[in-house]
Amino acid sequence: MPTTSSSPGLCSWTIMGCSVRLLQLLSTGVASSLVASVGTQRVGVDNWFMFFWCFCYIVTLLIIIVEYSKLRFHFSSHWYNFPINYACYAALFCFSTSIISATTYVPFLPQGTTRNHAITATAFSCIAAVAYGTEFVWTWVGHRPRRIITYVHTVHGLLKLLENFVACIIFAFISNTSLYQHQPALVWCVAVYSTCFILGTLAILLGLVYCDSWLPIRFPISQLGLTLFSVLLYISALLLWPLYQFNEDLGGQSQRSSDMTCRDEFTTYVCNWDQRLAVAVLTAVNLLLYVADLVITSCLVSDRLHPQAPVSLYLWSYYIV
């Protein structure tokens, strides 16, 4: 558990943390303000960009208030787990937002104020990603000498973060409801993404507060069941989404050129066919993450059920040291 004793490392982190969080606040605030000032968000994906930046700004502001007003002492000893996990999430969100915006949105904007504001917002998003990444790495390195194990220090925790991160990117693409509303099977896929995201969020929250006692069975065993359930759901989504999106016999479009929104004269952003393909690829990526998570969790459960197993197996399957 963390201690409250001071040290050079902790003092330097106080200065470093204040500077980095102010940079996070500034960069996400400027990015969201620039986009909002000219109303450049014209499609679903860009609305999600705006949401990510505003969300990061608000949560960072709350963390600053809690940290520097000493309210954190009222949130129990598990508070230190929250900022590092949030920094990991925010770094991934801002980085992906910067890449997607720079490659699929900014190049299609006409020259002028709107394009300049979008470019500047993307640049500040990159700065925010670096700032959040710096906090994550700095906090991680700072915790290791004091032997503090946070949830994000575990393989299982990192996989859960990545699974939910990929799911958020999927949500950005399926915010275009015309991709799936016409087929019940595709609506099922959206339900799969939502259900697994909720289960992953629940797993992260339980991991953050170490609440094994809240569950009817041990935490790792519960995680094994939830992960297996998520794997089965994602397998169904991986089969149904490409089948109904790209099979012409089932109403799909096998060629990009057959999509009216992908014709040159109408292409001012990522067209519907591109979004369908992106969701299919991300579904496969997330399924691989869930399978890896299932293997890791199985090793952990096996170690819990067979205490005579080598300690190195437990460390490999659960902790990153």
Query: Tens digit of pLDDT for each residue in 124-168?
Result: 999 999 999 998 888 777 655 455 556 666 777 788 888 988 998
If you average pLDDT over residues 69-74, what whole number do you get?
Answer: 68
pLDDT at residue 287 in the model: 96
pLDDT at residue 123 in the model: 93
Going from N- to C-terminal start, the domains of the chain cover 14-143, 147-252+270-306
The strand pairing partners of 40, in sequence order, are none
Report the distance separating Cα 2 and Cα 146, nearest Å: 8
pLDDT at residue 142 in the model: 64
pLDDT at residue 206 in the model: 73
Q: What pTM was estimated for this model as a whole?
A: 0.73
**229-259 residue pLDDT tens:** 999 999 999 999 999 888 888 877 777 777 7
pLDDT at residue 195 in the model: 94
* Confidence at 6, pLDDT banded by 50, 70, 90: very low
Q: How many residues does the chain have?
A: 321
Per-residue b/e over 147-178, b at no fewer than 16 CB within 10 Å?
Answer: ebbbbbbbbbbbbbbbbbbbbbbbbbbbbbee
Mapped to the 3 state alphabet, what secondary structure does 180-239 carry?
A: CCCCHHHHHHHHHHHHHHHHHHHHHHHHHHCCHHHCCCCHHHHHHHHHHHHHHHHHHHHH
The strand pairing partners of 154, in sequence order, are 319
pLDDT at residue 298 greater than cutoff 70: yes
**155-208 residue pLDDT tens:** 777 888 889 889 988 987 887 788 888 889 999 999 999 999 998 888 877 766
- Cα 96 to chain centroid distance, Å, stands at 9
**15-57 residue pLDDT tens:** 777 888 899 999 999 998 888 776 544 555 567 778 889 999 9
pLDDT at residue 145 in the model: 43
Report the distance separating Cα 251 and Cα 253, nearest Å: 7
pLDDT at residue 321 in the model: 43
Max CA pair span of the chain: 68
Q: Of the spans 81-90, 184-193, 273-282, which averages the highest pLDDT? A: 184-193
pLDDT at residue 124 in the model: 94
Mapped to the 3 state alphabet, what secondary structure does 46-90 carry?
A: HHHHHHHHHHHHHHHHHHHHHHHCCHHHHCCCCCCHHHHHHHHHH
**99-136 residue pLDDT tens:** 888 877 777 777 888 788 888 989 999 999 999 999 88
The strand pairing partners of 319, in sequence order, are 154
Which of the two residues, 155 and 289, has the higher pLDDT score?
Answer: 289
Which of the two residues, 96 and 80, has the higher pLDDT score?
Answer: 96
If you average pLDDT over residues 282-309, what whole number do you get?
Answer: 82
